[in-house]
């Protein structure tokens, strides 16, 4: 039976050294809770680093055994690994880059090498446990290379990846010297999840620009499979927080703590020590509030919990000093004998005390400068069982996309934050309840268990979709079948599209000249079969490129036909009425003027707007604009607008490859028919084929063809096989 393996940098436990022995402390984090329903079942397992270095082989063996009982397996990291892979590349390159703090990015090739090395360590550890049919769910930015490393060894495994932190714009991604390797690593997965649509959009754009893989509606077209990219906003264990807030223990803390801050409105902030959280900016906003509103002195205070983290890294050390200084300043300036503006704790609290802080605070001030999701704001909302309280939330946190009933602020707009606090302090109770109610409803529905379920369902869906496509794949077996059928045939015909089928794309279309190998294949095939090159290209180019070959040619999607027996020129197959061209050309020219790199190609029956050389992104945008413009015009002229590979073509609808192919076969009896093509224009050919024909589309798009084939290389392989 297949199993599920969860992989994350850290295991959901902490390994501590105490009195010469190791102790495990389970983590109560959101991820551990959500995934508990998975890894604790059956043969499933969680693989990761236990959070401490262990060098002694005996101790390692002991830890392996103990973790095995907990359904976990450790990946041991050396001190050097931790410094270079974790603190180094993960936290000093990827973390700042992905949170838009480019000023903190370190470009250290040794850190990169360690990142590759440790990802490989994880891969080896997983391979010891994983079977070819298992599901492997990898978490977060420390393991971006792992999906592809696993894919190479387990090509059929189900591999999913979820990124918990933001995915930055392409502009940031391109700064990383190892960007292509990182993206290639990620697309080894079948499903790639992010918290928000924006993260997903940035990822797709970076993949398109840096790896050349194209995508449509969240599906990346890789060489031999499709990969789904989607947004899955992570929830919390809602009931756990709601229940805890009402528990006796928490209520006792509320009472106890409450006495110390009696009569004051409380603002709560909880973060790990990190520059992405905007802690100094928040203290400054609170300072400004007290400066501008003297009437609030003695009536409002801030409880600020900062959980120690990464304090060996220089930028974190400096941040800690800055926070200490700011808190010191504000408290020394405003404190009275019975009022302290900021209650600052640089430590973490047990869960029941944390819950008391959530419960007793009037306002949660969650203002990160950038955050993947942010669970603190969700936990605050879930803990507000009497539904009073206000959430002030940064627009830069993933959670802001869901929690629209919070007061949303730009954390860089200090006055905006001050005003938000002021408004929150005076918000009428009915409004608080209405907002809280709506946020609670949503968080209850999309809790962490639902998140896991939706993600897993989606993964199954992608695998099914891949299955449908691969069942149509031209593998060795199908190749042999086609070859056998071809050998048996008495009269055969092969319809071969040119660009993207017999040869790859070139940035200058006129340079995609048939190479030696291709000319050889066509020559050999033409000795044993009727060969028809069926292309959208103009007749002169095709005629020149295949001059002297004993083949038929259909040019410009069926406007021109050249039969091998007529040695002469191409013949016009369709009557041409090009009176429409002047109007359309003017429009296209306008778009050429606005789009550097674009150009128009004029064919006898069509006009083509090319954007292959246009800056990526801009080309798409202009093409969409031109498309809607032309669609409107096309109706009046009874024309058809079609989107191709980096082209937009407008033409008469009655001219297409299918019609030309049918005409070519008219009156003949073939016992073997093969049609291969790579885009929508070839779909007309596929549709026109009789039932017994083999039709093959290059790439893994949905198609009317009965088969898909991986690439031009495979097409040539198949054709070569026919010549044997
Ligand atoms: C990544 C992404 C994304 C905090 N102080 C105490 C304490 N906490 C708990 C909170 C909360 C968690 O820590 C912090 O939540 P984050 O959302 O910041 O999560 P991270 O794991 O740090 O970060 C983030 C998240 O992954 C999930 O995908 O939201 O954007 O950076 O659960 O309650 N817990 C206790 N005492 C404390 O003092 N017990």
Q: Supply the DSSP string of 230-297, one letter for each residue.
A: EE------HHHHHHHHHSHHHHHHHHHHHHHTTT-EEEEEEEES-GGG-HHHHHHHHHHHHHH-GGGT
261 C-alpha to center of ligand 1: Å?
26
Residue 490 CA: distances (Å) to CA of 107, 483, 493, 653: 64, 13, 10, 35
Residue 576 is predicted with a pLDDT of 67
Q: Which residue has the higher pLDDT, 505 or 446?
A: 446
411 C-alpha to center of ligand 1: Å?
19
Listed residue (61, 53, 67) closest to 12, CA to CA = 67
What's the order of all strands across the beta sheet hosting 342-345?
342-345, 300-307, 265-272, 363-366, 390-394, 407-409
As a whole number of angstroms, the distance between CA 330 and CA 322 comes to 12
141 C-alpha to center of ligand 1: Å?
16
181 C-alpha to center of ligand 1: Å?
29
Residue 88 is predicted with a pLDDT of 94
Please count the CA atoms within 13 angstroms of the CA of 387 that sit on its side-chain side. Answer: 15
Q: Which of 241, 359, 376 to mutate to test the pocket of ligand 1 (most atoms within 8 A of CB)?
A: 376
375 C-alpha to center of ligand 1: Å?
6
What's the order of all strands across the beta sheet hosting 672-677?
571-572, 560-562, 552-555, 530-534, 492-496, 672-677, 694-698, 707-709
Residue 384 is predicted with a pLDDT of 97
Q: Which atom of ligand 1 is nearest to the CA of 375?
A: 17
Is the model's pLDDT at 278 over the cut of 90? yes
Q: Which residue has the tokens 């005003």?
A: 419
If phi over 0 gives left and psi between -120 and 50 gives alpha, with beta otherwise, what is residue 272? Answer: beta
* Pocket-forming residues, ligand 1, beta carbon under 6 Å: 30, 164-165, 234, 270, 272, 305, 307, 348-349, 351, 354, 371-376, 379
Residue 681 is predicted with a pLDDT of 87
Q: Which atom of ligand 1 is nearest to the CA of 372?
A: 30
* 518 token code pair: 């291709």
Residue nearest to ligand 1 atom 28, measured at CA:
164
Give just the sign of the alpha carbon dihedral 136, 139, 143, 148.
positive
Q: Mean pLDDT throughout 80-85?
A: 96
As a whole number of angstroms, the distance between CA 233 and CA 34 comes to 13
Q: What is the dihedral of CA 367, 370, 372, 373, to 10 degrees?
A: 10
351 C-alpha to center of ligand 1: Å?
12
Q: Mean pLDDT throughout 603-616?
A: 88
Q: Which of 139, 305, 373 to mutate to test the pocket of ligand 1 (most atoms within 8 A of CB)?
A: 373
Q: Which atom of ligand 1 is nearest to the CA of 29?
A: 32
Q: Mean pLDDT throughout 158-184?
A: 97
Q: Which atom of ligand 1 is nearest to the CA of 350?
A: 39
pLDDT band (50, 70, 90) for residue 336: very high
Q: Catalytic positions, please?
A: 497
Residue nearest to ligand 1 atom 22, measured at CA:
272
DSSP state of 702: -
215 C-alpha to center of ligand 1: Å?
33
Q: Which atom of ligand 1 is nearest to the CA of 379?
A: 33
Q: Which atom of ligand 1 is nearest to the CA of 234?
A: 28
Q: Which of 193, 199, 375 to mutate to test the pocket of ligand 1 (most atoms within 8 A of CB)?
A: 375
Q: Mean pLDDT throughout 668-697?
A: 94
Backbone angles phi, psi at 36, to 5 degrees: -55, -40
Could you read off the pLDDT of 92-120 as tens digits, one per residue? Answer: 999 999 999 999 999 999 999 999 999 99
pLDDT band (50, 70, 90) for residue 502: very high
458 C-alpha to center of ligand 1: Å?
25
Q: Which atom of ligand 1 is nearest to the CA of 236?
A: 32
Q: Mean pLDDT throughout 196-220?
A: 91
Q: Mean pLDDT throughout 418-447?
A: 96
DSSP string of 457-493? HHHHHHHHHHHHHHTTB--HHHHHHHHHHHHH-SSEE
Q: Mean pLDDT throughout 396-420?
A: 97
Burial of 7 (0-12, 13-18, 19+ CB in 10 A): buried
Residue 178 CA: distances (Å) to CA of 104, 120, 532: 17, 16, 45
Specify the 3-state DSSP secondary structure of 347: coil
Q: Which residue has the higher pLDDT, 612 or 480?
A: 480
As a whole number of angstroms, the distance between CA 541 and CA 512 comes to 10
* 553 token code pair: 């040619």
Is the model's pLDDT at 582 over the cut of 80? yes
Could you read off the pLDDT of 22-36 as tens digits, one per residue? Answer: 788 887 677 887 787
Residue 400 is predicted with a pLDDT of 96
Listed residue (303, 286, 331) closest to 422, CA to CA = 286
19 C-alpha to center of ligand 1: Å?
30
376 C-alpha to center of ligand 1: Å?
6
Say how many residues make up the chain: 724
Q: Mean pLDDT throughout 690-700?
A: 92
Backbone angles phi, psi at 161, to 5 degrees: -135, 135
Burial of 227 (0-12, 13-18, 19+ CB in 10 A): buried
Residue nearest to ligand 1 atom 33, measured at CA:
376
Is the model's pLDDT at 652 over the cut of 70? yes
Residue pair 39/4 in contact by the 8 Å Cβ criterion: yes
Q: Mean pLDDT throughout 237-243?
A: 96
Provide, rounded to the nearest whole percent, the portion of the chain with pLDDT above 70: 99
Whole-number CA gyration radius for the chain = 32
Residue 572 is predicted with a pLDDT of 82
Q: Which atom of ligand 1 is nearest to the CA of 30?
A: 32
Q: Which of 6, 28, 30, 141 to mutate to test the pocket of ligand 1 (most atoms within 8 A of CB)?
A: 30
101 C-alpha to center of ligand 1: Å?
20
Is the model's pLDDT at 167 over the cut of 70? yes
As a whole number of angstroms, the distance between CA 282 and CA 280 comes to 5
Q: Mean pLDDT throughout 14-29?
A: 78
Listed residue (200, 188, 186, 207) closest to 230, CA to CA = 200
Residue 174 is predicted with a pLDDT of 96
Share the mean pLDDT of the chain: 93
Model pTM score: 0.84
As a whole number of angstroms, the distance between CA 408 and CA 439 comes to 13
Q: Which of 14, 231, 353, 372 to mutate to test the pocket of ligand 1 (most atoms within 8 A of CB)?
A: 372
Residue 637 is predicted with a pLDDT of 80
500 C-alpha to center of ligand 1: Å?
48
Q: Which atom of ligand 1 is nearest to the CA of 351?
A: 39
Q: Which of 10, 95, 164 to mutate to test the pocket of ligand 1 (most atoms within 8 A of CB)?
A: 164
């Amino acid at each position: 039976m297949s199993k599920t393996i969860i992989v994350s940098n850290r295991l959901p436990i902490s390994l501590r050294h105490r009195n010469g022995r190791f102790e495990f402390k389970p983590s109560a984090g959101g991820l551990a809770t959500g995934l508990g329903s998975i890894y604790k079942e059956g043969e499933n397992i969680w693989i990761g680093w236990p959070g401490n270095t262990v060098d002694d082989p005996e101790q390692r063996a002991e830890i392996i055994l103990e973790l095995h009982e907990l359904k976990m397996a450790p990946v041991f990291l050396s001190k050097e690994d931790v410094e270079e892979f974790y603190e180094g590349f993960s936290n000093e390159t990827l973390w700042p880059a992905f949170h838009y703090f480019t000023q903190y990015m370190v470009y250290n090739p040794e850190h990169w090498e360690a990142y590759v090395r440790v990802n490989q360590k994880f891969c080896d550890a997983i391979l010891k446990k994983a079977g070819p049919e298992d599901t492997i769910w990898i978490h977060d930015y420390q393991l971006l290379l792992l999906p592809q490393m696993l894919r190479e060894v387990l090509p059929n495994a189900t591999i999913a990846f979820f990124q918990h932190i933001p995915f930055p714009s392409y502009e940031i991604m391109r700064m990383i010297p190892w960007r292509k390797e990182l993206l290639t690593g990620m697309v080894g997965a079948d499903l790639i999840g992010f918290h928000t649509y924006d993260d997903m959009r940035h990822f797709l754009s970076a993949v398109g620009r840096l790896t050349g893989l194209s995508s449509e509606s969240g599906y990346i077209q890789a060489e031999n499979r499709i990969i789904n990219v989607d947004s899955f906003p992570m929830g919390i264990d809602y009931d756990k927080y709601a229940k805890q807030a009402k528990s006796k223990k928490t209520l006792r803390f509320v009472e106890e703590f409450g006495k110390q801050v009696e009569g004051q409105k409380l603002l709560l902030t909880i973060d790990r020590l990190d520059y992405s959280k905007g802690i100094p900016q928040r203290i400054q906003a609170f300072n400004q509030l007290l400066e501008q509103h003297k009437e609030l002195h003695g009536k409002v205070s801030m409880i600020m919990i900062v959980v120690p983290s990464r304090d060996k890294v220089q930028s974190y050390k400096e941040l800690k000093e800055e926070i200490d200084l700011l808190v010191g300043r504000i408290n020394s300036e405003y404190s009275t004998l019975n009022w302290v503006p900021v209650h600052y704790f640089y430590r973490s609290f047990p869960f029941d005390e944390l819950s008391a802080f959530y419960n007793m605070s009037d306002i949660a001030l969650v203002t990160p400068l950038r955050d993947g999701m942010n669970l603190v704001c969700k936990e605050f909302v879930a803990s507000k069982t009497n539904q009073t309280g206000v959430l002030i939330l940064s627009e830069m946190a993933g959670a802001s996309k869901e929690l629209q009933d919070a007061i949303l602020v730009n954390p860089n707009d200090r006055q905006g934050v001050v005003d938000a606090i002021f408004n929150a302090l005076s918000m009428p109770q009915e409004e608080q309840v209405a907002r809280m109610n709506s946020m609670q409803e949503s968080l209850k529905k999309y809790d962490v268990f639902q998140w896991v379920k939706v993600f897993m369902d989606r993964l199954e869906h992608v695998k099914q979709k891949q299955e449908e496509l691969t069942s149509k794949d031209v593998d060795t077996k199908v190749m042999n079948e086609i070859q056998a059928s071809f050998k048996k045939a008495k009269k055969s015909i092969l319809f071969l599209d040119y660009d993207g089928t017999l040869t790859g794309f070139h940035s200058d279309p006129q340079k995609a000249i048939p190479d030696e190998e291709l000319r050889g294949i066509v020559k050999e095939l033409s000795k044993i079969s009727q060969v028809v090159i069926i292309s959208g290209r103009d007749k002169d180019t095709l005629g020149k490129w295949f001059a002297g070959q004993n083949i038929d040619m259909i040019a410009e999607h069926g406007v021109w036909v050249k039969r091998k027996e007529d040695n002469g020129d191409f013949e016009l197959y369709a009557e041409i009425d090009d009176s429409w061209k002047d109007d359309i050309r003017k429009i296209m020219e306008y778009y050429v003027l606005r789009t550097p790199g674009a150009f128009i190609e004029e064919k006898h029956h069509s006009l083509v707007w090319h954007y292959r050389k246009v800056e990526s992104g801009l080309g798409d945008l202009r093409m969409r604009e031109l498309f809607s413009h032309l669609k409107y015009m096309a109706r009046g002229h009874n024309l058809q607008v079609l989107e191709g590979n980096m082209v937009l073509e407008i033409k008469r609808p009655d001219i297409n490859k299918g019609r030309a192919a049918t005409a070519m076969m008219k009156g003949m009896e073939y016992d073997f028919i093969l049609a291969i093509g790579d885009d929508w224009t070839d779909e007309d050919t596929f549709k026109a084929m009789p039932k017994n024909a083999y039709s093959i589309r290059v790439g893994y798009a949905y198609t009317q063809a009965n088969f898909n084939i991986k690439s031009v290389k495979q097409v040539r392989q198949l054709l070569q096989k026919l010549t044997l």
